[in-house]
Amino acid sequence: MSCRTGTSPTSGSIFKRSFRYPEMFWLEVIGVIAFGICGAMAAMERGADLFGVLFLAVITALGGGVIRDVLLGWFPPRMFTSYAYVAIAVASALLVFLDACIRREHYRQNRDKLDSVVNVFDALGLGVFTVSGVQMAIDQYGMGNPFLLVLMGMTTGIGGGMLRDVLIDAMPKVLRKRIYAVASIVGAIGYYLLLRFGVDQTLSTIIITVLITALRILATVFKWNMPQAKL
C-alpha cells in the first residue's frame, strides 16, 4: 500500500480497518477506558475539578494517538474526527469522578488498593495502544519498515501517559522508574515478529497485549527499574 502523507487515518483503509479487524476496534475501546480511568484518578489525586478530570482523562487516553498521527503527517489527528473515542474517555472519567464523590471516604481509606488498580489499568492501556499503534502503521505502510512500526507502537502506548505526567507537574514514568517504555518496545517488536512469521493477527494481538500488561505489572510488583546514575 502506498504512503498517503497528509491523509487523516479516519479515511480510506485506516478507517475501514476497524471494520476489517473488529477485535482491534474493541481493543482500542478497552484501551481508551483504561487510560481514561488512569487520567481521571491522577487528576483527582492532584485536586483537579470536574473539567480538569475530564480533560486529563481525554489527554491520557488519546494523547499518544495524536502524537503518532502528527509524526506520520496525518491531519487532522483521529482524536478530532473519531468522536466516539472522546466520548468513551469522558464517560469513563465521569463515572470514576461520580463514584469518588459518592464514596470519598472509601477512596481515602483504600488509597494503596486503588493505586494497584490504577496500575493494572495503566498496564492494560499500555499493552492495548502499543499493539494498536503498530497495527495502524502496518495498515498504512506495510511491514517493510520495522523501526517505524516499533516507534509508532511505543509512541501510541506511552504518549498519553507522558502528557498526563507533564500536565500534573511530574516527571513522566517512562523516564524514571518501573520498566514502562521498555515493555512497550519489547511488545511492539514481538508483535511485528509474530506477524512476520505468519501468526494469526488476532492471536498475535492477544499474546502481545497480555505480554506487555504482564511485564508492566510485574515491574511494578517487583520494582524492576532500568539502571540509574543519580547525582
Cell of 45: 489525586
Distance CA 96, CA 57 (A): 10
Q: What is the mean pLDDT of residues 49-74?
A: 93
Q: What is the pLDDT of residue 28?
A: 87
pLDDT at 100: 92
* 87/100 Cα distance (integer angstroms): 20
Q: What is the pLDDT of residue 18?
A: 41
- Percentage of the chain with pLDDT > 90? 60
Confidence of residue 21 (pLDDT cuts 50, 70, 90): low
Q: Is the pLDDT of residue 16 over 70?
A: no
Distance (Å) of CA 1 to CA 33, 41, 110: 31, 41, 51
Least confident range from 24-33, 86-95, 172-181: namely: 172-181
Q: With cut-offs at 50, 70 and 90, classify the pLDDT of residue 3.
A: very low
- Please give the biggest Cα pair distance in the chain: 56
The mean per-residue pLDDT over the stretch 26-39 comes to 92
pLDDT of residue 24: 77
More confident residue, 150 or 222: 150
What is residue 28's DSSP assignment?
H
Q: What is the C-alpha end-to-end distance of the chain, expressed in Å? A: 49
Q: Which H or E element spans position 108? A: helix 104-109
Amino acid at 63: G
Kindly report the CA angle at 192 between 165 and 175, in degrees rounded to 5? 20
- How much is the pLDDT for 179? 84
* pLDDT average, residue stretch 188-206: 96
Find out whether 39 and 98 touch, Cβ atoms under 8 Å: no
